[in-house]
Amino acid sequence: MRKTLLLLTTLALAGCNQAAPTAPEKPAAAPAAKAGEAPINTIDRSHAGEPGPAAVTWEMKGGTKQQLADHKGMKMLVNLWATWCAPCIAEMPALDKLAGEVPVMVLPISEDMEGWQAVDKFWGTDKFKNIETGLDQPGSYAEAIKAKGLPVTILYDEEGKEIWRVSGTLDWGSAEVRKAIVG
C-alpha cells in the first residue's frame, strides 16, 4: 500500500507539472531526453513488442473488472489519466473524438485515489459520446508500466503487445498521430 501511495504521489508531482503542447507534436521527432528517460509529448517506441500488463485489472462503472486479455483481438489505445491532471482533462475531448473516428478502442483509465467519486464529478453523464472510463485502484496499471507522470497513453496491438506509448500529450487530431494509430 505504501509503495502504491508513493507511486501515485510521484505521478501527481511529475506528470501534471507539464503544460500541454502549444503546437501539434510530430510523432517522429523526440525531444532530447536524459539517459534512461522516456521522451515527453512524443511517440516512444522503445517498449514496442513488450506484452502489456496482463495480470493487472481495472474496474469499469458498475463494478465489472477487466484486463487486457478481455480485449484480445482488438487494437487498444489505453490512456492513464486523473481528474487532478490538467493536461489529462484538456486532452479528453480529443480522445473522445478520436474514438469515434478510428477503428481502435480508446480506453481512458483513471488513476484517481478518490475513486469513482472524483471521476463521476468530472465525467458526468453524456459528457463523452465515444468513450467510457475505467478506474485503476490502487494504481496497479500505472505501477506495472512504470509511469513517471500523467497522462500516459499506450497503443496495444490485437495480441496485447505494445506498439508505442506517449508520456504527456499529443495532438490526437493530427494526421501524423492518426496514421501512427491506424498504421
The string of pLDDT tens digits covering residues 63-84 is 999 999 999 999 999 999 999 9
Closest CA to 123 of 91, 92, 77, 100: 92
The C-alpha atoms of residue 90 and residue 13 are separated, in whole angstroms, by 18
Three-class secondary structure assignment of the chain: CHHHHHHHHHHHHHHHHCCCCCCCCCCCCCCCCCCCCCCECCEECCCCCCECCCCCCEEECCCCEECHHHHCCCCEEEEEECCCCHHHHHHHHHHHHHHCCCCCEEEEEECCCCCHHHHHHHHCCCCCCCCCCEECCCCHHHHHCCCCCCCEEEEECCCCEEEEEEECCCCCCCHHHHHHHHC
Condensed to tens digits (0 to 9), the pLDDT of residues 125-156 reads 889 999 999 999 889 999 999 999 999 999 99
Can you list the domains of the chain with their CATH numbers?
Answer: 2-18+40-182 (3.40.30.10)
Q: Tens of pLDDT along 152-176?
A: 999 999 999 999 999 999 999 999 9
pTM of the model: 0.83
